[in-house]
């Protein structure tokens, strides 16, 4: 696209001011510069100069249009230098001159994202190697102290989202890693016995300063015919009605408690993984949460949250019971309750946070950090969430279609609730701009984007900390070839075939069953 075709430049009278000696050359980017000619050309009247200056002063945008028009003409007329096949010694010098010329124009000030991907690309292997290290870097955990209610959403994160506060970025990524631990634990052991109560499940937490206190299960109210298991006996876990969906954990490290300013209780919930959970996702009709209530939620989400299994309580009952127990156990201490989830887990997190907020007297502050969450209820339910004092931060990828379903947000239909942190997979220098639906909804892609987000008008941050290992391993087909090729050379392997060599991947993930999502 030509710059001149976008902004037409008006025609101005030729203006020439007194020139220095002929050894000084003018710039062809100057809108008033012309080749030296006759004396009449150089001696334009003072009134013409004054008129032109007045025009530019009254409308500064005209000056920009003139410069862009001349730049367009210059780029059209200057032929590209042909490389000499016999001599490549001056190639780096030519590239540096061209880059210096373009950078000197400061066009990024007009289009901030114009060169974002190019500027942030780790051209040197050393930069990429840092992001593929076996000992990845992490953003610093600064002391939150008395500001912890602000980071927990007491003011709905006003002034912290755009630009993104560095402390909030670290907290958001950390809660996303709690959800990843829920995915890992489920896929390493997805089966749930239908004949006996489940045994306590081990969860490899990414943050060892927390301990798991309760396993959580979600049960579908629908079922599949028995012959399905006979046809595919190895996939029996895909058709089980009750499945492990997450856990409750609490911080039990005194040093971390002092850093955060309170003891934090976390409820982490994974996304869709079984056939019956997918079936519940498509039950998109709105149902009231109470008889005669104007607060309505999606039928399938409500079913998974409220239905109990043969040997496990409903997700609703289990969450409320455990929160009450922990509140009594740590009575008198400053507490916070954080519910976090991805996809289906984000919807269940909203339902759980709403019920927790009214389950007892003097409930600690409740906040939701959700990733790629769909719409859950109508406007009446959103108002109920706000009235109950639940603060919701939704992390949304602008390219993620799941965040725009179900329903259409009109009338008494579905509506989002809470504050939004909007990222965009197209801003990543590593992901393809046409990344597929699965990549745009992937939790690791979400955490990658949050780690690199600075502000809505800024490119991907150059000093991003999050390792690329997991992203390359899970979304290799959506990563730009440049970085995949460099990663393969650095690791001397085929990405996706040897996670152990690739680096810091949880051992339990090597035997994980893939999720249909």
Residues designated as active site: 343, 400, 441
For residues 64 and 71, the answer to whether their CB atoms sit within 8 Å is no
C-alpha 139/C-alpha 121 separation (Å) is: 20
- Computed over its alpha carbons, how large is the radius of gyration of the chain? 29
CB 381 within 8 A of CB 350: no
Calpha distance 253→324 (Å, rounded)? 21
Q: Is the CB of residue 210 less than 8 Å from the CB of residue 249? A: yes
Q: How far apart are the C-alpha atoms of 252 and 264, rounded to whole Å?
A: 9
Q: Could you tell me the two tokens for 213? A: 């206190």
446 token code pair:
């979400």
CA-nearest of 425, 493, 483, 503 to 124 is 483
Distance CA(464)–CA(459), nearest Å, equals 11
Bridge partners (DSSP) of residue 377 are: 297, 415
Neighbours of 196 (CB within 10 A): 9
Question: What separation, in Å, do the N-terminal and C-terminal C-alpha atoms of the chain show?
Answer: 39
How does strand 414-415 pair with strand 377-378? antiparallel
DSSP code at position 244: E
Q: What whole-number distance in Å separates Cα of residue 132 and Cα of residue 470?
A: 9
| 3-class SS letters over 27-92 | CCCCCCCCCCCCHHHHCCCHHHHHHHHHHHHHCHHHHHHHHHHHHHHHHHHCCCCCCCCCCCCCHH
- 414 contact partners, CB below 8 Å, separation of at least 6: 286, 298, 375, 376, 377, 378, 406, 407, 408
């Amino acid at each position: 696209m030509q710059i001149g075709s976008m902004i037409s430049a008006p025609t101005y009278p030729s203006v020439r001011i007194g020139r220095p000696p002929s050894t000084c050359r003018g710039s062809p980017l100057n809108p008033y510069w012309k080749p030296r000619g006759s004396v009449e050309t150089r001696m334009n009247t003072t009134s013409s100069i004054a008129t032109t200056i007045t025009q530019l002063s009254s409308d500064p945008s005209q000056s920009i249009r003139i410069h862009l028009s001349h730049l367009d003409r210059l780029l059209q007329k200057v032929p590209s230098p042909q490389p000499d096949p016999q001599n490549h010694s001056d190639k780096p010098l030519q590239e540096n001159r061209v880059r210096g010329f373009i950078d000197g124009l400061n066009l990024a000030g007009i289009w901030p994202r114009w060169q974002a991907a190019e500027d942030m690309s780790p051209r040197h292997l050393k930069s990429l190697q840092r992001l593929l290290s076996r000992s990845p870097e992490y953003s610093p955990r600064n002391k939150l102290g008395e500001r912890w209610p602000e980071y927990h959403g007491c003011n709905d994160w006003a002034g912290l989202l755009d630009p993104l506060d560095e402390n909030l970025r670290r907290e958001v990524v950390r809660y996303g890693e709690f959800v990843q631990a829920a995915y890992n634990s489920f896929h390493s052991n997805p089966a749930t016995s239908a004949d006996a109560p489940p045994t306590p499940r081990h969860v490899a937490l990414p943050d060892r300063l927390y301990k798991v206190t309760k396993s959580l299960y979600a049960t579908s109210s629908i079922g599949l015919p028995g012959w399905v298991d006979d046809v595919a006996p190895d996939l029996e876990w895909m058709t089980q009605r009750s499945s492990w969906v997450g856990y409750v954990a609490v911080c039990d490290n005194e040093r971390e408690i002092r850093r955060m300013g309170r003891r934090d209780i976390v409820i982490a919930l994974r996304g869709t993984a079984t056939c019956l959970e997918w079936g519940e996702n498509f039950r998109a009709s709105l149902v009231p949460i109470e008889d005669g209530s104007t607060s309505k939620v999606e039928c399938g989400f409500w079913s998974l949250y409220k239905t109990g299994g043969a040997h496990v309580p409903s997700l609703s009952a289990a969450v409320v019971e455990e929160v009450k127990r922990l509140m009594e156990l740590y009575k008198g201490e400053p507490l916070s309750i954080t519910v976090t989830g991805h996809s289906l887990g984000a919807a269940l997190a909203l339902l759980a946070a709403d019920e927790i907020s009214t389950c007892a007297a003097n409930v600690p502050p409740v906040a939701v950090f959700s990733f790629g969450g769909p719409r859950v209820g109508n406007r009446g339910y959103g108002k109920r969430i706000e009235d109950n004092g639940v603060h919701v931060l939704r992390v949304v990828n602008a390219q993620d279609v799941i965040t725009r379903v179900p329903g259409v947000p009109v009338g008494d239909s579905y509506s989002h609730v809470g504050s939004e942190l909007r990222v965009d997979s197209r801003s990543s220098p590593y992901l393809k701009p046409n990344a597929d639906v699965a990549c745009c909804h992937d939790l690791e892609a979400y955490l990658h984007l949050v780690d690199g987000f600075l502000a809505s008008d800024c490119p991907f941050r150059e000093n991003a900390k999050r390792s690329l290992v997991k992203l390359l391993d899970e979304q290799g087909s959506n990563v730009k070839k440049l970085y995949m090729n460099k990663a393969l050379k650095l690791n001397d392997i085929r990405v996706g075939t040897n996670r152990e060599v690739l680096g810091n991947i949880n051992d339990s993930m090597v035997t994980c069953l893939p999720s249909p999502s």
